[in-house]
Amino acid sequence: MAEINAGIYNAALNSAAFEGMATTLVIAWFLGERLWVAHTGDSRLYRYRDDQLEQLTRDHSFSQELLDAGMVTEEEARILPAKNLVTRALGASPEIEPEVQDLDVMPGDVVLLCSDGLTEMVGSYEIAGLLAAQADMHETARRLVDLANEAGGRDNISVIVIKVSSKDPPSPAVSAFGRRLKPWPDH
C-alpha cells in the first residue's frame, strides 16, 4: 500500500491536473478461515452472516471522529456539512498507515466491499435485504449499484460482493460492479 500511496502522492505533486488527488481503499485477502482487511478512508467492508449485516471497518472521517468522541449522535454525523471529509486517504500525505485487521469467515458468509457512493445512497436495511437473497453475486452487485444510482448516485459507486462457499479462497463467487461519474484526465 506504501507504493500505491507514493505513486498517487507524487502524481498529485508533479501535475496540476492531479493536484489534491487522493482516494480511499478497502482490500480483502482470504486465507483459509481468516479474512485479512486493510483500509483507509471511508470505503467499507461489511459481513452478512446469520441474517445480520455488520460493518467491520471504521471510517477514517471527520464525522466518525466526532461520533467516536461523543460530540455528535449517529443522526447528526450523517447530516454534518463536512461528513465526507476523510482524515486518512491514499495520496493525501507522503506516508500512509492503513488500518489492518483479521477476521473469521465461515461458509455462507457474504462479504461486501464498497465505496461511500453506495452507503451514502442506500441504507443498511436495503443492503442487507439484497445480500440475504444471495442468488447471484454479480446480479446482487449490479443491483446495489442500480439502487445507489436510483437514489441519486451523487458519487462514484464501487461494489464487490463475495460469497464464501468453502474454506478455500472464494474467487469463483466474487462479483464486482462499479460506475464512474467523471472521465479520467487525458494525462
In this structure, which amino acid lies at residue 181? Answer: L
Question: What does the pLDDT read at residue 168?
Answer: 58
Among the four given CATH numbers 3.60.40.10, 3.20.20.20, 3.40.50.740, 1.10.357.10, the one describing domain 2-179: 3.60.40.10
Please report the pLDDT score of residue 29 as a whole number: 93
The string of pLDDT tens digits covering residues 3-40 is 889 999 999 889 888 888 889 999 999 988 899 999 99
pLDDT of residue 59: 92
pLDDT of 178 > 80? The answer is no
**What's the whole-number average pLDDT of the chain?**
85
- Supply 120's cell numbers: 451514502
Per the listing, cell 459481513 goes with 47
Q: What pTM was computed for the model?
A: 0.85
pLDDT digits (tens, 9 = 90+) for 108-129: 999 999 999 999 899 999 999 9
Give pLDDT tens digits for 36-76: 999 999 999 999 999 999 999 999 989 889 989 999 988 88
How far is it, in rounded angstroms, from Cα 181 to Cα 31?
Answer: 34
pLDDT at 154: 80
**Where are the domains positioned within the chain?**
2-179
Pairing of strands 44-49, 34-40: unpaired
Per-residue pLDDT at 169 = 52
What are the grid coordinates assigned to 172, written together? 469463483
Contacts of 182 (CB under 8 A, 6+ apart): 156
